[in-house]
Structure 1
Amino acid sequence: MADALRRAAPDGGGTVGKALDVLEEVAAFGRPVRFAELQARSALPKATLYRLVQTLAGQGMLILDPETGRYAMGRRLVRLAHVAWSQASLAPVARPHVERLAHETGRTVHLAELEGGHVLYLDKHAPEAAPDTYSAAGRIGPAYCTGVGKAMLAHLPEDALAEALAEQSFKRHTPATLTDEAALRADLAAIRRRGHAFDAEEHEPGVVCVAMPVLSGGGHVLGALSVTGHGTRAGLGGMARAALGPLRRAVDAVARAADDWRFPEGTRQGGGGTR
């Protein structure tokens, strides 16, 4: 993601676009960052980058720790993110159903949407004893090797699917990862037939899941839910059989709850569409 931003920064979006790219760059570090570190990753001239960082800090979008000289996301940005989460996200209406599903299954539940061909995790609810996994609310993950990602990809119209597939890296994360478009398309066809997707240790070793898309009444992809556990490909079938009933009920409940929330039909068909 950071590489793509570096390539795009000098050309796209004018001043506002460049400022947003700077925020993305800071976020990509996952920790407070020094200006020199940011400069090393940015394609912007030093003077331009410094001016944008100072403007963002002055507007409360970034905050500078004077003792360490490091920049981090500012409180104003956090407030805006919270408003976006509550007003333009499936997460608030889905939250009670996510929690109920986690309670019923005793396993970690994820809620996600597609963002530019990738998975954006909106919510995660885990039993207290559940081991940690890569996913967390606000994190971006791959679509081609995660249960939620494949569940959503499988139900995109062909034009949106083609755009989303062009965004996939097909990096091999584990021996089970699908690493080319043909193999993924075959898996997506099977997902459409049976109505649910699997992650059979494809993203993280020892992590398996079953996932279903959340679809509008018109069949448009709103998001996806998954039930995740630590196990092996061999044990995935048993976990899925136990989880499919509660997962289907949760997906249907979220879809009904989204009727009063979601954007008009046709605006959420694929990655990167109007949100």
Structure 2
Amino acid sequence: MNTETDSSPGLRLMELVDLLTRHAQPMALPEVVALTGWPKPTVHRMLAQLEQGGWLVREPDGRRYAMATRLLRMAEAALSNSAQQGVRHAVLRQLVAEVGESCNLTALSGAEVVYLDRVESAFPLRLELRPGMRVPAHCSASGKLFLAWMGARQRRTVLDGLVLTRYTANTLTLRESLEAELEAIRRDGHAVDAEEFVEGLVCVAVPVFAPGQRTVRCALALQAPAARMALAQARLQLPRLEAAAQALARTLG
């Protein structure tokens, strides 16, 4: 950013919020100053204003600023509202028509996955999850995908505060086991839910990257009853999921 700008103080704050959300990781004052090129006292004052307003929160080290729940909820609402209309929803509908099972678009909110959009299959046997609903990160394909693509420091912070609640016999409740799976997800490029959250339900998820970056903005997932589509069969749909994820990435701008 330029050190000189005609932006009003309110627009300056929005520009700062935009920068922090695009970098998707906690940042210290010197890092923000270096990225904006703005005077240190100005940046310090703006960060303090955003923290006081509940938009940012300090990390435990007291130095770095992270997105607070208020800012995360606003981002979720913006994504959800746009996802309900237009191109993104059309991509989901087309994907469901191709694979024959329910598909969804999700984002990470703290240690939970929030549904931004979802298209159900035509079958009567299905689990209906509406936009806005949340599921745990450690036992959902999308959640594990987000965890796997975090930076090491951010992932460690999230895992330190994560309660690995058991939902089924397949839920990963040992941190060592979860971390080993996260490494495999990063290597393989996709994640699965092998009946870990709901017994009898399987899921495969792929990342939706920010354009021109390797930052995961959303996750795209296929979800199906294991009785109708075994996990091995769901994995065969990965090429279709990845193609749809690329189409969705182009809509993020």
By the TM > 0.5 criterion, same fold?
Answer: yes
1:111 to 105, 113, 133: 105
Instruction: Report the counterpart of residue 264 of structure 1 in structure 2.
Output: none
Instruction: Report the counterpart of residue 220 of structure 1 in structure 2.
Output: 215
Instruction: Report the counterpart of residue 132 of structure 2 in structure 1.
Output: 138
Instruction: Report the counterpart of residue 102 of structure 1 in structure 2.
Output: 96
Alignment of 1:213-252 (within 5 A): 213-216=207-210, 217-231=212-226, 235-241=230-236, 243-252=237-246
Identical aligned pairs, as a percentage? Answer: 33
Q: In structure 2, what residue type is equivalent to 1:84?
A: A
CA shift for structure 1 position 86: 5.7
Structure 2 distance, partners of 1:165, 1:134, is 28
Instruction: Report the counterpart of residue 205 of structure 1 in structure 2.
Output: 199
Instruction: Report the counterpart of residue 64 of structure 2 in structure 1.
Output: none
Q: Secondary structure at the match of 2:208?
A: strand
The alpha-carbon distance between structure 1 residues 141 and 89, as it changes in their structure 2 partners (threshold 3 A), is farther
Q: Secondary structure at the match of 1:223?
A: strand
2:146 to 144, 152, 161: 152
Q: In structure 2, what residue type is equivalent to 1:191?
A: I
CA shift for structure 1 position 239: 2.2
Q: Secondary structure at the match of 2:177?
A: helix
CA shift for structure 1 position 168: 2.3
Q: In structure 1, what residue type is equivalent to 2:174?
A: D
| Number of matched pairs | 183
Instruction: Report the counterpart of residue 84 of structure 1 in structure 2.
Output: 77
Structure 2 distance, partners of 1:112, 1:158, is 22
Q: Is the 8 A contact 2:167 2:198 kept in 1?
A: yes
Q: In structure 2, what residue type is equivalent to 1:228?
A: Q
Structure 1 distance, partners of 2:215, 2:134, is 21
Which runs of 5 or more structure 2 residues have no equivalent in the other structure? 1-50, 55-72
CA shift for structure 1 position 89: 6.0
RMSD: 2.9
Which runs of 5 or more structure 1 residues have no equivalent in the other structure? 1-12, 18-79, 260-275
Q: Is the 8 A contact 2:80 2:131 kept in 1?
A: no
Structure 2 distance, partners of 1:99, 1:227, is 12
Deviation per CA, 1:138-195: give whole Å up to 9, x if none: 0111011001111111111112212322342211100100002211110010011111
CA shift for structure 1 position 88: 7.3
The alpha-carbon distance between structure 1 residues 255 and 187, as it changes in their structure 2 partners (threshold 3 A), is same
Larger deviation, residues 161-170 vs 179-188: 161-170
Q: Is the 8 A contact 2:170 2:195 kept in 1?
A: yes
Q: Is the 8 A contact 1:107 1:130 kept in 2?
A: no
Structure 1 distance, partners of 2:99, 2:151, is 31
- Work out whether 1:254 is the aligned partner of 2:242: no
Q: Secondary structure at the match of 1:94?
A: helix
- Work out whether 1:176 is the aligned partner of 2:193: no
Structure 2 distance, partners of 1:130, 1:151, is 28
Q: In structure 2, what residue type is equivalent to 1:170?
A: L
Report the TM-score, using the length of structure 1 for normalisation. Answer: 0.60
Structure 2 distance, partners of 1:130, 1:163, is 41
The alpha-carbon distance between structure 1 residues 86 and 145, as it changes in their structure 2 partners (threshold 3 A), is closer
CA shift for structure 1 position 245: 1.2
